[in-house]
């Protein structure tokens, strides 16, 4: 996926630019030692390439060992990545345009899930009357509308809440990015505590429509969850496509792209930047809420999920580069796959190292930042 | 936000008065207050001070401090005799040294990565570090035990804190004063001054031949050392450590403490910690129950609201409020002098107790 928010291709990181400049000025007469790309094989790069090669070989060996398992693990990673992308794209959109790090993004995610759950239970819960299930969880039938309506309604509601938060707390201190981050942290603390009070500490799920199959059979006798594999993945692709079209083809997207590059110029041209900011915040919060309903159906809703998804969004955009939608997609894919593989394949010989899987995520973050301090598609602000 | 960094310093007289008042605390407070409010505020203050040091002198608001003090605490907990964790049984003092070394080294590593980013990126990367440390210790039960590491062995100097909390209080107080003086001293060294140069004008400092990244990295490692001190004191205080005690909530609590006190004043760390400990303990008693929304169980809502109000109204925190109030008073007396954050002069006995505890 191409870089959609950034109108130009991802710019070079500063020190890299310096390095290539030095090379070209030094080699005016001498034959250019770095043909075209400006890339040099520094010892660090070779080390990273070697590590990457080892990882690939390791995965190939594991895949050859049990192909079915490998396919399932990969699908797990990709679907996880799809969810990460939906949430993180909202985060990166808000940051890209307004330089606001919305630390309440995870709270909006979880709130979206809880709101959908409340609507579903309040309006669509119909007991089948038999009450056969001992757990009491699955004794109700849910139609497609019973899932789809809360999804849409909760998503839009979260978008509106996002706009309210932005208008009340963030609009008047535009440009003070640290203060805005602190304000959203304060909001996330309050919202998390209020959600704990309102929805309790027990893990809950949004019910998927009863008519949907639980799993689908893929070629090669692989069974994979229907909701996870079809709905979440499909939604993420759809959202990616829609965002791409909105950013590339609409006037709003044009303004957003221009705003990412130079906010002052955009407002000097007579565009109501405040309106655009509100729109971007609506869209960003909307995506968090949408992700929350998807995540609430796919995984679960519980206190702590807000933190987890804030962290995931952070890692995704740190890897991909702040403000870049393409970066968010790549970052989400990297994080999702690394999570999935490390949880299963971190077994060397007889020693089970899956406990340490978080270190692999950490290594991913460190590795990307060591090579590109602003992320893969990041550009200096 | 490029804050107006206050260069005002607590005068020696004020500091001496505060330390004397604090040292006499066991005479006029209950054991409960001494333990639950004062001792806790002191070590929380050290953790917040490591953040304030980075923010005020390095321009780096780091959220990794809880992760770093967790590393120190976990190292100490695993090396001494305890229930859970590894089975090592080192001398507690040796374990302290090891814990501080490990925290500093981890800080050096984190600093190496984070030092090249600035501002809000730095905040996010350090937040990710802190949460990753938490996830690491929650996953690796070989190190964190299944119910945390409990009943830690303490150095003999602390006596038996359950019966007499005073020795532990004094140790924590002495360490706090030492940390305060150390941080203040470092800010006046050549390193501290060039760090402040890096904070204000990185491009110019680079042009002058200073290694900007190295300065940031070393400052981060130094702050990690201070955070490690807080980590050791925290496990001495709790006599246990669990992954849950170094989670995101605690990360944000330390940030809240620093911001409540005043993010750009060293003494603000302890002011904020004192205010935090007071709210933590007493809000349950006086906060009215408003349905499910507000009440004795909603401590986080209250602390979040306090945090929100401070950030919205006074970015300088309580110290900032106090200073602007004093400037207004003295300014009126002088006949309308400009409200500058000048060096505190004269013994400020009145507000003093709240400044260190």
B349 contacts chain A (CB < 8 A):
no
Query: What pLDDT is recorded for position A126?
Result: 64
Q: Which residue out of A186, A309, A362 would a mutagenesis test of the B interface target, given it has the greatest number of B Cβ atoms within 10 Å?
A: A186
Q: How many helical (H) and strand (E) elements, i.e. helices and strands, does chain B have?
A: 17, 0
**B287 in contact with A at a CB cutoff of 8 Å?**
no
Q: Which residues of B touch A370 (CB under 8 A)?
A: 113
Closest CA to A177 of A97, A244, A257: A97
Confidence at residue A26, expressed as pLDDT on a 0 to 100 scale: 35
Contact B301 A193 (CB under 8 A): yes
Range 324-363 of A in CB contact (< 8 A) with B? 355-359, 361-362
The DSSP element (H or E) to which A295 belongs, if any, is helix A273-298
Q: Which residues pair with B83 in a beta bridge?
A: B150
Residues 172-201 of A with CB under 8 A from B: 176-179, 181-183, 185-187, 189-190, 192-194, 196-198
Distance from CA of A344 to the nearest CA of B (A): 14
According to DSSP, the residues that pair with B149 across neighbouring strands are B241
Chain A partners of B298 at a C-beta cutoff of 8 Å?
A: 193-194, 197
Q: Indicate the residue of A181, A185, A198 with minimum beta-carbon distance to B120.
A: A181
Angle between helices A43-65 and A325-345 (to 10 degrees): 60
Query: Which sequence spans correspond to the domains of chain B?
Result: 12-282
Query: Judged by CB atoms within 8 Å, which residues 241-280 of B form the interface with A?
Result: 247-248, 252, 255-256, 259
Rounded to a whole number, what is the distance in Å from the CA of B288 to chain A's nearest CA? 15
Q: Which of A227, A233, A232 lies closest to A215 in space, CA to CA?
A: A227
Under a CB-based contact definition with an 8 Å cutoff, are residues B25 and B282 in contact?
no
**C-alpha span between A123 and A119 (Å, rounded):** 6
> Which residue in chain B has the smallest CA separation from A319?
B125
Q: Which residues contact A135 (CB under 8 A, 6 or more apart)?
A: none
Ranges in chain B, pLDDT < 70 = 1-9, 331-357
Strands A347-348 and A351-352: antiparallel
B313 inside 8 A of chain A by CB: no
Q: How close, in Å, is residue B211 to chain A by CA atoms? A: 14
Taking CA atoms, what residue in A is nearest to B123? A178
Whether B231 and B114 have beta carbons less than 8 Å apart is answered as no
Smallest CA–CA separation between B116 and chain A, in Å? 7
The answer as to CATH 1.10.3470 being correct for domain B12-282 is: yes
Q: Which residues of B6-37 are buried (b: 16+ CB within 10 A; e: fewer)?
A: bebbbeeebbebbbebbeebbeeeeeebbbbb
Token pair of B128 as six digits: 């990710």
Do residue A197 and residue B298 have CB atoms under 8 angstroms apart?
Answer: yes
Q: Least CA distance to B259: which residue of chain A?
A: A182
Nearest to A186 among B123, B135, B311 (CB): B311
Q: What pLDDT is stored for residue A227 in this prediction?
A: 87
Residues of chain B contacting residue A314, judged by C-beta atoms under 8 Å apart: 124, 127-128
CA A223/CA A208 separation, integer angstroms: 18
CA distance A176 to chain B (A): 4
Q: Does A186 contact B139 at a Cβ distance shorter than 8 Å?
A: no
CA distance A183 to chain B (A): 6
B311 vs A182: CB contact, 8 Å cut-off? yes
Interface test with B, best of A94, A180, A188, A197 (most B CBs within 10 A): A197
CB B196 within 8 Å of CB B53: no
Contacts with A, B 68-127, CB within 8 Å: 113, 116-117, 119-121, 123-125, 127
Asked if B132 reaches chain A (Cβ–Cβ under 8 Å), the answer is yes
Per-residue pLDDT tens digits of chain A, which is 381 residues long? 344 444 443 333 344 434 443 333 333 333 334 334 445 677 777 888 888 888 888 888 888 888 888 888 999 999 999 999 999 999 998 888 888 889 999 999 999 999 999 998 888 776 555 555 444 455 567 888 888 999 999 999 999 999 999 999 988 887 788 889 899 999 999 999 999 989 988 888 888 888 888 888 887 778 888 888 888 999 999 999 999 898 888 988 888 888 877 878 888 998 888 888 899 899 999 999 999 999 999 988 999 888 889 988 988 998 998 878 889 999 999 999 998 988 888 877 777 777 788 888 888 888 888 788 788 887 765
Check if A167 contacts B (Cβ < 8 Å): no
User: For B113, which of A169, A357, A369 is closest by C-beta distance?
Assistant: A369
Cβ atoms of B70 and B134 closer than 8 Å: yes
State how far the Cα of A100 lies from the Cα of B121, in Å rounded to an integer.
11
What is the pTM (predicted TM-score) of this model? 0.82
Contact A359 B136 (CB under 8 A): yes
Would you say A377 and B154 are in contact if contact means Cβ atoms under 8 Å apart? no
CB-based contact B307 A185, cutoff 8 Å: yes
Mark yes or no for CB contact A186/B307 under 8 Å. yes
A139 interface with B at CB cutoff 8 Å? no
Task: Name the residue facing A193 among B256, B304, B308 (closest C-beta).
Answer: B304
The per-residue pLDDT for A188 is: 93
Structure confidence at residue B344 (pLDDT) = 37
Check: CB of residue A257 under 8 Å from CB of residue A142. no
| Chain B residues close to A199, C-beta within 8 Å | none
| Residue ranges of domains in chain A | 8-40, 41-129+137-371
Q: Which residues pair with A126 in a beta bridge?
A: A141
In angstroms, what separates the C-alpha of A90 from chain B's closest C-alpha?
16
In chain B, whose CA is at the least distance from the CA of A170?
B312
CB contact under 8 A, A176 and B297: no
Number of A/B CB contacts below 8 angstroms equals 112
Please check whether residue A188 is in contact with residue A106, taking contact to mean a CB–CB distance below 8 angstroms.
yes
């Amino acid at each position: 996926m191409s870089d959609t928010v950034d109108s130009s291709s991802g710019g070079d990181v500063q020190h890299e630019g310096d390095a290539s400049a030095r090379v070209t000025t030094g080699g005016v007469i001498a034959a250019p030692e770095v043909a075209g790309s400006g890339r040099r094989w520094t010892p660090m790069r070779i080390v990273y390439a070697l590590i990457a090669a080892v990882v690939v070989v390791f995965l190939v060996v594991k895949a050859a060992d049990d192909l079915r398992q490998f396919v399932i693990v990969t699908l797990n990673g990709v679907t996880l990545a799809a969810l990460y992308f939906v949430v993180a794209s909202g985060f990166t959109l808000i940051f890209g345009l307004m330089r606001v790090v919305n630390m309440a993004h995870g709270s909006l995610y979880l709130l979206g899930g809880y709101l959908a759950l409340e609507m579903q239970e309040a309006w669509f819960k119909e007991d089948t009357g038999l009450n056969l299930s001992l757990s009491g969880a699955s004794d109700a039938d849910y139609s497609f509308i019973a899932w789809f309506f809360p999804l849409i309604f909760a998503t839009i509601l979260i978008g509106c809440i996002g706009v309210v938060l932005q208008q009340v707390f963030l609009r008047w201190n535009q440009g003070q990015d640290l203060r805005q981050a602190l304000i959203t942290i304060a909001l996330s603390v309050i919202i998390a505590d209020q959600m704990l009070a309102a929805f309790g500490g027990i893990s809950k799920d949004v019910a998927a429509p009863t008519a949907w199959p639980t799993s689908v059979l893929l070629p090669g006798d692989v069974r994979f969850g229907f909701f996870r594999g079809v709905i979440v993945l499909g939604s993420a692709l759809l959202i990616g496509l829609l965002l791409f079209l909105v950013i590339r083809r609409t006037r709003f997207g044009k303004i957003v792209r221009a705003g990412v590059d130079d906010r002052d110029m955009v407002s000097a041209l007579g565009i109501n930047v405040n309106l655009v900011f509100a729109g971007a915040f609506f869209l960003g919060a909307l995506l968090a809420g949408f992700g929350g309903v998807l995540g609430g159906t796919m995984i679960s809703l519980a206190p702590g999920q807000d933190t987890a998804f804030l962290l995931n969004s952070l890692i995704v955009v740190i890897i991909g580069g702040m403000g870049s939608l393409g970066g968010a997609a790549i970052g989400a894919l990297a994080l999702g796959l690394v999570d999935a593989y490390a949880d299963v394949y971190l077994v060397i010989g007889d020693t089970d190292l899956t406990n340490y899987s978080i270190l692999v995520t950490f290594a991913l973050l460190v590795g990307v930042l060591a090579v590109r301090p602003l992320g893969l598609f990041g550009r200096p602000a | 936000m490029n804050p107006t960094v206050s260069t005002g310093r607590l005068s020696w007289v004020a500091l001496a008065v505060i330390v004397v008042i604090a040292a006499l605390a066991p005479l006029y407070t209950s054991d409960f207050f001494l333990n639950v409010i004062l001792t806790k505020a002191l070590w929380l203050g050290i953790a917040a001070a490591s953040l304030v040091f980075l923010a005020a002198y390095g321009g780096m608001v780091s959220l990794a401090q809880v992760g770093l003090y967790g590393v120190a605490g976990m190292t100490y907990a695993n090396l001494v005799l305890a229930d859970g964790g590894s089975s090592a049984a080192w001398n507690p003092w040796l374990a302290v040294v090891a814990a501080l070394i490990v925290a500093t080294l981890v800080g050096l590593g984190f600093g190496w990565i984070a030092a090249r980013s600035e501002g809000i990126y730095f905040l996010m990367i350090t937040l990710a570090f802190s949460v990753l440390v938490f996830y690491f210790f929650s996953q690796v039960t070989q190190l964190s035990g299944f119910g945390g590491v409990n009943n830690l062995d303490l150095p003999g100097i602390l006596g038996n804190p359950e019966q007499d909390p005073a020795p532990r209080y004094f140790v924590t107080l002495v360490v706090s004063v030492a940390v305060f003086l150390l941080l203040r001293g470092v800010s006046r060294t050549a390193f501290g001054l060039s760090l402040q140069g890096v904070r204000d004008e990185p491009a110019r400092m680079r042009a002058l031949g200073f290694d900007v990244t190295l300065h940031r990295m070393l400052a981060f490692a130094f702050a990690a050392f201070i955070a490690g001190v807080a980590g050791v004191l925290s496990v001495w205080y709790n006599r246990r450590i669990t992954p849950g005690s170094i989670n995101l909530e605690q990360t944000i609590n330390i940030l809240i403490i620093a911001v409540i006190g005043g993010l750009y004043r060293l003494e603000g760390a302890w002011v904020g910690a004192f205010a935090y400990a007071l709210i933590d303990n007493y809000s349950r008693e006086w906060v009215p129950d408003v349905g499910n929304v507000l009440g004795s169980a909603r401590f986080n809502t209250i602390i979040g609201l306090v945090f929100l109000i401070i950030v919205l109204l006074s970015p300088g925190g309580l110290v900032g409020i106090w200073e602007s109030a004093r400037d207004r008073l003295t300014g009126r007396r002088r006949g309308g002098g400009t409200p500058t954050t000048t060096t505190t002069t004269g013994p400020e006995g009145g507000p003093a107790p709240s400044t260190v505890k």
